[in-house]
A and B are shown apart, each in its own frame.
Chain A
Amino acid sequence: MAIRVFEGAAEKPDVQVEVGMVGNYQKIEFSGQLIYGQTEKAKQIILDNIREAKGYFFDVRNLSSIDSTGLGMLVTIARRLKNTDSRIAVIVEEGMMKEIFTMAKFHLIFSMVSSEAEGVRLFEGGSRPNLTLDEY
């Protein structure tokens, strides 16, 4: 069952984060806007709720926008997981959000998949992203 862990202040465009499990993998699902002013508290609560898992999904399909601060937060979380020998994939659909990740060249450090099932296949199939977590 997913746990809602954070809702931003009502007066700001808010981000919401839900943490849940997909088999042996933990999924962190974002919605709203992951932008400057919204990331710090979200990051802390995510780190507090991270469990040991074989891999992690950052699901950004419901994000309406993300900026460089939001992208940086994903890397910060990834760095915290670097010693766990786990894998990380970003679940993102074709469209603007994927273009932002690609423009920022984050596809070089995160595997990009379009669904949980594709992510699980990727993790269990043994293929690796361009850089592993150990390289963060």
Chain B
Amino acid sequence: MRGVLVRISHLMSIRQGVRMRLLLVDESWIKLRSLETMLRKAGYHDLLFAQNPSSVCELLKLDEQAQVAARIDLIILDYTLPHMNGIEMCRRIRSHACYREIPIIMMTGMRNESVLQEAFEAGVTDFVRKPVRKVEFLARVRAALRLQENINKHYKAREKLEKMVSEHEYQLALAKKVQMSVLNEPIEQEQIAIQARYVPSEHLSGDMYCWYEIGNGCYGIMLIDVVGHGVSASLVSMSVRALLRGLITRVTDPVHVMQELNRHMLHIFKDNDISIYFTALYVVIDVQARKIEYVNAGHPPGIVRGSKGEMRYLSTGCLPIGLLPDIQVEKEVFSYEGETLIAMFSDGLANGNTVLAPDSIASFMIQRSKAGQSLDCWLNEIMQTHATEEAKDDICLIGIHLR
């Protein structure tokens, strides 16, 4: 029956493992049967037939709005078709996004070079000269199907990769939510206000902070920066974070807090082949006694601006945590009077310029901090002036306002 799909065979050849589906297009039913015989003998059994362009459009769903492709692996197209020639048919097929890559073999008796060139430009992959000779015909079919098989493999691999990336992104986004969820809410009390800004360079951050009211007007504020970036650093920071609440509220002396953290790190990562450690700045503020004590474990110094504009760098301390057993830890204790500002930050600030960042922030605190300015505005200004949009390292900034 002219113009209608006349036969679909789903038999698969065991001989060649052929599962490819071919669409044969020729207005002559006799020629279609001849091609079918050759292909079946060669092991290609999954064949579709069409005798005119409208049947091709119907089979390939070319007129449908939805970009749904029929599963076809190779189209063998005669140059001579009713209503439009094979080149126009080829253009029509290629205009559909789903068939930009599918191999199309054109059968033609024409020897005119300009026609061949036009056909190639229209998207024909290969030619078979008419009258069709079996050996050449099957060789070209095999070559085209190999090409299509590679294209299919490529698309499957890409699909798999995209799925993996999508799943990975989803998991990272979820992990980021978990990490963000453990960050403390700001404190706003009569004598003390604490806020932070936190910008991971990737989905997850090796920086972590927390603060707790220890009791009797004492607050413990911890900022840590784990070596490296991303997932591995965030795993370490989260494992440390899990300890901090108990440690800070139970052990008040910053020296003991750091020693305990050091023991913990060395215990967990004792068999590791790489150095896993973190720098930290731990500050304990007694707002009743107006006293500050701290330990700096290899971290960029915190900066204190006193009520009279005097500056102090919080540098005293010990080695980074997790490097060596039994580290010697030194703390510094000092008093404050009146309105005092403290900045604690990781080395991602000032685009990782570890050495210049403290001086730069200190200078900012001297020149720009105004009396009565809210902590929120103050932190925003530091971030605007010191945090680049494309940070290469995690950024964490804690601001403390003592009144």
Contacts and interface: CB of A to CB of B under 8 A. Distances in A.
B317 A72 contact: no
A75 B298 CA distance: 14
A36 B319 contact: no
A79 B270 CA distance: 12
B323 A76 contact: no
Contacts of A69: 227-228
Contacts of A100: 354-355
Contact of B324 (A67, A73, A99, A109): A109
Contact of A68 (B227, B317, B324): B227
B275 A76 contact: yes
A26 B194 CA distance: 50
B298 A103 contact: yes
Given A72-B277, A75-B275, A67 B320 contact: no
B135 interface: no
Given A76-B274, A99-B355, A105-B298, A68 B225 contact: yes
Interface in B262-300: 273-277, 279, 297-298, 300
A105 B320 contact: yes
A133 to B, nearest CB: 11
Interface residues of B, number: 27
A103 B355 contact: yes
A9 to B, nearest CB: 17
A103 B354 contact: yes
Interface string B360-403: 00000000000000000000000000000000010000000000
Nearest to A65: B352
B279 A68 contact: yes
Nearest to A39: B274
Interface string B311-335: 0000101111001100010000000
B225 to A, nearest CB: 7
Interface of B: 225, 227-229, 273-277, 279, 297-298, 300-301, 315, 317-320, 323-324, 328, 347, 352, 354-355, 393
Given A67-B393, A76-B273, 10 more contacts: A67-B347, A68-B277, A69-B228, A75-B277, A76-B274, A79-B275, A100-B355, A104-B298, A109-B323, A136-B324
Interface of A: 36, 67-69, 71-73, 75-76, 79, 96, 99-100, 103-106, 108-109, 131, 135-136
Top 4 nearest A-B pairs (CB, nearest first) are A72-B275, A68-B227, A104-B298, A75-B275
